[in-house]
Amino acid sequence: MSFGQVLVNWLLLGSLYGAVALGFSLVWGIMNIVNLAYGALIIVGAYTAFWLYTDLHIDPYLGIPLTMAVLFIIGWIIQYVVINRVIRAPMLVTFLLTFGLDLLIIDLVQQFFTSDLRSINTAYAGNGIDIGSTHIPLPSLIAAAIAILLTAALNFFLTRTRIGNAILATGMDRDAARLMGISIRHTYALTFAIGAALAGAAGALLSQLYPFDPSEGGTFTLRAFVIVVLGGLGTPWGVIAGGLVFGLAETVFPLIPGVGPGYDDAIAFAVLVLVLIFRPNGLLGKPFYS
Amino acid sequence: MATGTKTQTSPTTQAPPPKPKEGRGWLWSLLLGLLILGLVATVPFVGNAADLHNWTLIIMFAVLAQSWNFIGGFAGYSAFGNVVFFGIGAYTTGLILLANLPFWLGLIAGALVAGLFALLLGLPVLRLRGHYFAIATLGIAEAMREFVTVRDVGGGGGGLISLPLPSLDSYVLFFYAFLGLSLLCLLITVFLTRSRFGYALVAIRESEQAAEALGIPTYWHKVGVFVLSAVPAALAGGLYAYWATGFDPDTVFNVGISVEMVLLTFLGGAGTILGPLIGAIVFEYTSFQFQASGFTLHNTLLGLSIVIVTIFLPQGILRLIQEFARQPAPGERRANPFVEGVRRVRRFIAANGV
């Protein structure tokens, strides 16, 4: 494989990973909740896109906004009905609760869609752009572009709109935000809903690139965590940076003699521990919201 | 609550913070624990083979929850990957049995390997706090499962291990072995509530900085309790290995087991003597009843229970009973006992909401 090809693969994978961790970072940064159900929401997004494509024959890219809408509603309900009730409990409680939601959601997805491996294959999935000997697959390119677009949109929303500012303010100081007339209950529900919608978008993108089954949720949660740790909790752009660094680790590690493929989670764990030992606030990170 | 004393607390809207037992509370807890284990010990005489099978697993989960209670309940460190010790114990014992060495050697080797692993793992990860510690421990369990699968440690394809079957009447022996392990964990828990080491752990849970300021070497206490919670889990894993005779990485490194340990401890009451034992019996027994009635969605049940417990019982069954039985504070109007109890429980729940 040429150097150019490795570079292209890395950039495309890294941007995609940024999209995977975007919603996770938002929820963690604003509410100080590590949402262990995030991987399950990605899986729900992937299956929603799959269902829209196979049963309703909607093009997967047109399906992304629909998937995001479905996940937005699910996320709103989860936060408003369940997580809002334990938001002031010790961290261990929210951690346990979101893990419980993860188990519940994955089990339900398995009931509806069985645990078979699924994939979405469109007519144009094999297309690509060739520059010299370097092949750029079209679906990966579109996925990376959408990832960048979502990051920019989230950044714009948080910094330039009143509702976005309210979310940021709530993340900085809950009590001060309440005094300014912001409804914490609704802001949290909205934040979690946006996070879930981003998970849905990530799931819809992933479903067109890789085969998937319900058991993969945990892997995505772990990766999202590592990516956020790498990029820090500061801004949406930090997440893309974290995704690129993590993509690099996943591209380089299997090339080490004696390691070989198949160690995705081990790599994620190794990167996590290495980073946390030397930079407890993440590689590019600052403790922004805390 | 001791009844004779005149000490009275002012009415608070928040649930009282967890505190170590006072007076002779620990003795009653110990006696009650012995009574429960004694009653469970009669299962082989009064129950059939299915009961024995179920109760063996119930007590196994009790041991796992009790061992998690050391690090999670006392030191307050949210270790979410303790299943890794269970799996290491199972695989070490399994490999030793495959090498035709005696079973007891496998158990000891499993405990030693897991203890050493906890020490080496604890040195870096116990420097982390909060979310980072929780995810790091979760990550090691996932990574270990992956490693054992990819390297095919068991030799049966994908890490699978198959062992020679133990003879049928030895299932009773396995049951009593698990029960003995649970008794050992109970005694260790009582020791933790009564010793300097245990006090130091509670101090770390309440405020690590304050504990450090008092001169407690917090780091080494944390490493110590991490190893302490690894060894019973590994012994349970070793017993499970021979009892189940065949297992794969997805079973013994299943992160769901980690979560179950946490749930059982929370359900009963984290940091209490009897909490994990009661939580395990209540949840696992209910779970087996559901299974017997044809409800096979174990993870759905587990997830729903977690949601209910974290919202309505974050302090566990034991503290809920304590709250019901509490003497009314001065100035607190006493309604009829039921209304009063419900009011207290609602206050208990509301403390965590937005």
Using one digit for the tens of pLDDT, what is the confidence trace for A24-50? 989 988 888 888 999 999 999 999 988
CA neighbor of B203 nearest in space, from B4, B332, B31, B17: B17
Chain segment B86-134, per-residue pLDDT in tens? 999 999 998 888 888 888 898 999 999 999 999 999 988 888 877 888 8
Q: What percent of chain B has pLDDT over 70?
A: 86
Mean pLDDT (chain B, rounded): 83
Write out chain B residues lying below 8 Å of A106, CB-based. Answer: 299
> Which amino acid type is present at position A65?
P
Chain segment A266-290, per-residue pLDDT in tens? 777 777 777 777 766 666 555 544 3
- Chain Cα centroid distance, residue B322: 21
Write out chain B residues lying below 8 Å of A85, CB-based. Answer: 311, 349, 352-354
- Asked if A263 reaches chain B (Cβ–Cβ under 8 Å), the answer is yes
CB B85 within 8 A of CB B71: no
CB B158 within 8 A of CB B248: yes
Nearest Cα residue in chain A from B123: A277
Tokens of B22: 């006072």
Nearest Cα residue in chain B from A228: B132
Write out chain A residues lying below 8 Å of B302, CB-based. Answer: 100, 103
Task: Name the most confidently modeled range: A68-77, A101-110, B242-251.
Answer: A68-77
CA distance B42 to chain A (A): 34
Q: Does residue A1 sit within a domain?
A: no
Alpha carbons A226 and A253: distance in angstroms, whole number? 15
Residue B297, CA atoms < 13 Å, CB-side half-sphere:
16
CA distance A219 to chain B (A): 8
- Measure CB to CB from residue A218 to each of B76, B142, B349 and give the nearest one: B142
CA angle B249, B289, A217 (to 5 degrees): 35
> According to the model, what pLDDT value does residue B182 have?
94
Mutation pick from B310, B347, B348 vs chain A, by most beta carbons of A within 10 Å, is: B310
Which CATH architecture fits B45-296? Orthogonal Bundle (1.10)
CA distance A116 to chain B (A): 17
What is the arithmetic mean of pLDDT over B140-169? 76
Alpha carbons A278 and A140: distance in angstroms, whole number? 33
Q: How many domains are there within chain A?
A: 1
CB B114 within 8 A of CB B88: yes
Q: What is the 8-class DSSP label of residue A84? A: G
> According to the model, what pLDDT value does residue A193 have?
95
> According to the model, what pLDDT value does residue A271 have?
78
CA distance B76 to chain A (A): 9
Q: What is the pTM of this model?
A: 0.85
CB B53 within 8 A of CB B267: no
In this predicted structure, the answer to whether residue A260 has a pLDDT above a threshold of 70 is no
Mutation pick from A34, A41, A103, A213 vs chain B, by most beta carbons of B within 10 Å, is: A103
Q: Does residue A274 sit within a domain?
A: no
Alpha carbons B197 and B199: distance in angstroms, whole number? 6
SS (H, E, C) A70-137: HHHHHHHHHHHHHHHHHCCCCHHHHHHHHHHHHHHHHHHHHHHHCCCCECCCCCCCCCEEEECCEEEE
A204 backbone φψ class: left, alpha, beta (φ>0; ψ -120 to 50):
alpha
Mutation pick from B69, B126, B135 vs chain A, by most beta carbons of A within 10 Å, is: B135
Give A261's pLDDT tier (boundaries 50, 70, 90): low
Is the CB of A270 less than 8 angstroms away from the CB of B143? Answer: yes
> According to the model, what pLDDT value does residue A45 have?
92
Paired sense of beta strands A128-131 and A134-137, if any? antiparallel
Q: How many CB atoms lie within 10 A of CB B50?
A: 10
> Which amino acid type is present at position B78?
S
Q: How many CB atoms lie within 10 A of CB B108?
A: 17
Q: Which of A176-180, A194-198, B158-162, B192-196 has the lowest mean pLDDT?
A: B158-162
In this predicted structure, the answer to whether residue A114 has a pLDDT above a threshold of 50 is yes
CA neighbor of A184 nearest in space, from A38, A41, A83, A46: A83
In this predicted structure, the answer to whether residue B8 has a pLDDT above a threshold of 60 is no
Q: Does residue A178 sit within a domain?
A: yes
Alpha carbons B329 and B102: distance in angstroms, whole number? 60
Structural domain that includes position A76: 12-114+137-221
- Measure CB to CB from residue B142 to each of A89, A100, A222 and give the nearest one: A222
Tokens of B33: 């624990």
Tokens of B245: 């005779």
Write out chain B residues lying below 8 Å of A80, CB-based. Answer: none
> According to the model, what pLDDT value does residue A281 have?
61
Q: How many CB atoms lie within 10 A of CB B245?
A: 14
CB A176 within 8 A of CB A8: no
Is the CB of B300 less than 8 angstroms away from the CB of A107? Answer: yes
In this predicted structure, the answer to whether residue B83 has a pLDDT above a threshold of 90 is yes
Alpha carbons B96 and B163: distance in angstroms, whole number? 10
- Measure CB to CB from residue A89 to each of B255, B304, B352 and give the nearest one: B352
Tokens of B293: 């009635």
Q: What is the 8-class DSSP label of residue B295? A: -
- Chain Cα centroid distance, residue B67: 5
End-to-end CA distance of chain A: 44
Q: Does residue A246 sit within a domain?
A: no
